[in-house]
Amino acid sequence: MAALSKPYIFAIPPELRNRIYELALTCRQIRAGAITIYYDNKFSFEVHAFDGLAVTPFRRLLLMYRIATTKSGKNLSLRLCHCCDGVLFLLAAWLEAFHEDTDKLVVGLRQVKQAGNDSRAAILATRTFGVVRAMRKAPWDEVELVLQVFYDAIEDFQEQDYGVEHSDSSHEE
């Protein structure tokens, strides 16, 4: 018998192959075995405009399927993108959720992972998570007072680096 150049499943017509997938994934036993393989992969998300809370539902799925996320976050990483158009109230909401999170659902930043052009605003935004980690036991009002200095500096960097102008209430709700 001649060797197939690709796995046999891909030689089947797409309609039939999709029906097989549908039946396999609706079978609880097969799904339970396969789901851990899927979620055992490494996932990388691009965070636009400081909207890091968008990753929280996916993190919830990881925990729901009991997929261990390591403390170093090796299977889930975030990369800040387009910090020039970052809306600071989104960063503030992300930081507050990170501060109040007891279930470890909110993913914080540990280091900037950008493709060669780490903006000063992105680096500073990442450092705000270190401040929040250090002040986890303090009330949010106190943390927010410390973070105000970072918010102002991020706005300055966005203005200098990208020409983005902010109104006085850009980081307030």
pLDDT tens-digit profile, the chain (173 residues)? 555 566 677 788 888 888 887 777 677 777 777 776 666 677 778 888 888 888 888 888 777 765 554 444 456 777 777 666 567 888 999 999 999 988 778 888 876 555 444 577 788 888 899 999 999 999 999 999 999 999 998 888 877 776 656 554 444 44
The pLDDT of residue 12: 86
The pLDDT of residue 3: 59
* pTM reported for the whole predicted model: 0.66
The pLDDT of residue 106: 86
Q: Tell me the average pLDDT of the chain.
A: 76
SS (H, E, C) 99-165: HHCCCCCCCCCCCCCCCCCCCHHHHHHHHHHHHHHHCCCCCHHHHHHHHHHHHHHHHHHHHHHHCCC
Q: How far, in Å, CA of 101 to CA of 128, rounded?
A: 16
The pLDDT of residue 165: 64
Tabulate helix, strand, coil % of the chain (nearest 5).
55, 5, 40
Q: How far, in Å, CA of 71 to CA of 116, rounded?
A: 25
Residues 124-173: tens digit of each pLDDT: 888 899 999 999 999 999 999 999 999 998 888 877 776 656 554 444 44
CB 142 within 8 A of CB 135: yes
